[in-house]
Amino acid sequence: MAAPQKGDLSAAERKMLQVIAAGDVQEAAQLLANNEVRINCLDENGMTPLMHAAYKGKADMCRLLLQHGADVNCNQHEYGYTALMFAGLSGKTDITSMMLDAGAETDLVNSVGRTAAQMAAFVGQHDCVTVINNFFSRARLEYYTRPQGVDTEPMLPPRLAGPLHKIIMTTNLNPVKIVLLVKEEPALVDPSALQKCSRVMELLCEQCVQQQDMNEVLAMKMHYLSCVLNKCLSFLQNREDKLDSLVRSLLRGRDSDGFPQYQEKFIRDCIRKFPYCETNLLQELVRSIAPVEIGNDPTAFAVLSQALTGQMAFVEGDYCVTCGEKGADKRCSLCKAVVYCSLACQKLHWFTHKKMCGSMQDHEAKAQDTPRLKELKEDESDLVFETANFLQELCMRAEEKVAAAGGCPLELLSRPSTSSEGHPRPQD
């Protein structure tokens, strides 16, 4: 059969487009069953039925068309739009996910050189941007559930693929949330399982950097998740309270202002350990984080999250203070200053929030718990020690990189430059 020509539609196909616009899935199914509709036919503008359904935000219709073999990557539209771009423009995250699951290419560009994620961002559909930027196919992960080469065992036992994929697909990168996701999966709460998952994530990270069209965003995400899994592993092996004690460490606020500094240092540390210092993304992150004193905005979490998910948000609060979940609406009834997504999250946070809750209330009620100096646990003092050199090391790495590249104005990374004489010299 010849490839469909633009605008060359039969009466049944014109009818089909009307049915799609009306959202009548039953009638659409009937038309398809009659075999009078070519699934990838093109209207005058080069739009397929799938593009129409995606643009109109009709999820059931999209599903039906995909089941009938609609080509998700058809690129005949007059301005080069794909079904994924239309999905992004519609603002429907379920349709966007559906296109991705069906194999939509994320890096196709339209006639003005924009990808689907960029188009969605352009019209303010940030949730769709997040879905696109965080997509990772289950098939790609399942590769590791088959023994490769001379190995007799797969790197990833098949029963771990599902739980791990769920973690990879999370768009909320709050470390507490990730630990809670791990806790939810009995198969993952096991040192050898965590070790395997973490190793696979590092391999995926490497793959994302080395593939032809390097995906720095996904590489950083894989690396970050691998770090969190490793941290889970170390708490599981060394702490009596296991993952609960990791959650508490991540949430514990410092006495002066309740800022969760362990969490901040942990995330900075994850970024610092990203093995590919030549990537632009790492340099951008460093530039955003390095000048910020711990406790000030933006937090490492906000910067990382924005870079990896494309979410600009984090302004004002409908984010759960415990797990970072969006749409939190349960306010602390005493201070009204913090919100949670659930009672469980409020309970998790109380041990540390209770120290601040009093001073957050407007009236004079002095906190019943006298603030006390807290001994740093071993794990934390290590981190403090390591982080002391964090900024310096990052700056040095960046400067080396600049020097290697023949020098470009990256003074931002080190100290404020007061002269125009070029790179700041190391002090004696």
Residues that bind Zn ion (CB under 5 A): 320, 322-323, 325, 332, 334-335, 341, 345, 357
What is the rounded distance in angstroms from the CA atom of residue 133 to the CA atom of residue 100? 11
Please report where in the chains the tokens 């997504």 appear, as a residue: 341
DSSP class of residue 370 equals: P
Nearest approach, Cβ of residue 412 and Zn ion (Å): 35
Q: How far is CA 61 from CA 19, 50, 95, 160, in A?
A: 10, 8, 10, 33
Token match 């991540």: residue? 250
By beta-carbon proximity to Zn ion, the closer residue of 312 and 365 is 365
Q: Which residues contact 15 (CB under 8 A, 6 or more apart)?
A: 31
3-state secondary structure of 141: helix
Helices vs. strands in the chain: H and E counts, helices first:
20, 2
- Indicate the residue among 325 and 399 with the shorter CB distance to Zn ion: 325
Q: Give the position of tokens 């296109």.
A: 99
CA atoms lying within 13 Å on the CB side of residue 408: 6
| Residue nearer to Zn ion on the CB measure, 41 or 338 | 338
> Cβ of residue 341: shortest distance to Zn ion, in angstroms?
3
Task: Kindly state the tokens that stand for 258.
Answer: 């309740």
Quote the distance between the C-alpha of residue 260 and its chain's center. Answer: 21
Distance CA 190, CA 23 (A): 47
CB of 349 to Zn ion, least distance (A): 9
Q: Which is nearer to Zn ion, 214 or 360 (CB)?
A: 360
What is the nearest approach in angstroms of Zn ion to the Cβ of residue 325?
5
Type and span of the H or E element at 339:
strand 339-340
**Least Å from the CB of residue 21 to Zn ion:** 40
List Cβ neighbours of 395 (8 Å cut-off, separation of 6 or more): 286, 290, 413, 414
Choose between 202 and 325: whose C-beta lies nearer to Zn ion. Answer: 325
Cα→Cα distances 11→30, 38, 41, 53, 265, Å: 15, 12, 12, 18, 64
Task: Retrieve residue 301's tokens.
Answer: 């979490």
- Give the tokens for residue 405: 């590249």
| Contact criterion met (CB below 8 Å) for 140 and 149 | no
**Cβ proximity to Zn ion, 308 vs 323, nearer residue:** 323
Q: In whole angstroms, how close is the CB of 41 to Zn ion at the nearest point?
A: 47
Name the minimum Å distance from CB 183 to Zn ion.
Answer: 13
CB of 340 to Zn ion, least distance (A): 5
The Cα–Cα gap between 238 and 248 comes to 15
d(CA 69, CA 410): 50
In the bound complex, what is the minimum distance in angstroms from residue 171's beta carbon to Zn ion? Answer: 14
Which residue lies nearer to Zn ion by CB, 302 or 345?
345
Q: Return the structure tokens found at 274.
A: 């990203």
Cα 415 from Cα 290, distance rounded (Å): 10
Which residues have C-beta within 8 Å of that of residue 288, sequence separation ≥ 6?
298, 303
Could you tell me the smallest distance in angstroms from the CB atom of residue 234 to Zn ion?
24
CA angle 341, 346, 352 (to 5 degrees): 135
| Shorter beta-carbon distance to Zn ion: residue 268 or 353 | 353
Taking the complex as a whole, the smallest distance from the CB of residue 242 to Zn ion amounts, in Å, to 20
